[in-house]
Amino acid sequence: MRINLDCNACCRKVRRHLINMKEVETHVIEKKERKIIVCGQFRPSDIAVKLQKKMKRRVEILEIEHLSGDHGGGEEEHYHEPPYEPQYEYPVQPDQVNTPLLC
């Protein structure tokens, strides 16, 4: 998640709120990159809404990684939103003929 962390007090406040959330197992706060990495079994939108209400700052969800059930270094599954593909295909038109201008 991305959140604007201005100072060390903001980092401490975010850390305190994350520790009190039962769903969150581990977290990492990167102040310079303005990122928070959160691990646990939860819906990312729920955590983002809770942080947004407590911190009164905009929270942006960057990337979601779903991990497999085994804890022995299992394979990670990455879910990304598929790229936009238009449903309508435009017909291919021939190139326009370039005619010289006579002045």
Predicted TM-score (pTM) of this structure: 0.59
- Would you say residue 99 lies in a domain? no
| Domain boundaries, position 36 | 2-72
- Cα–Cα distances in Å, from 16 out to 6, 11, 24, 60, 96? 16, 9, 12, 19, 64
CA distance 40 to 21: 10
The DSSP output letter for 27 is E
Structural tokens at position 6:
């201005």
- Would you say residue 79 lies in a domain? no
Q: Name the residue among 32, 28, 8, 4 with its Cα closest to residue 18.
A: 28
Q: What is the pLDDT of residues 36-93, one digit of tens each?
A: 999 888 888 888 999 999 999 899 888 888 766 544 444 444 555 565 565 666 565 5
- Would you say residue 19 lies in a domain? yes
Amino acid letter, residue 101? L
Domain count, the chain: 1
CATH of the domain at 68: 3.30.70.100
Query: How many whole angstroms from its chain centre is CA 39?
Result: 13
- Would you say residue 42 lies in a domain? yes
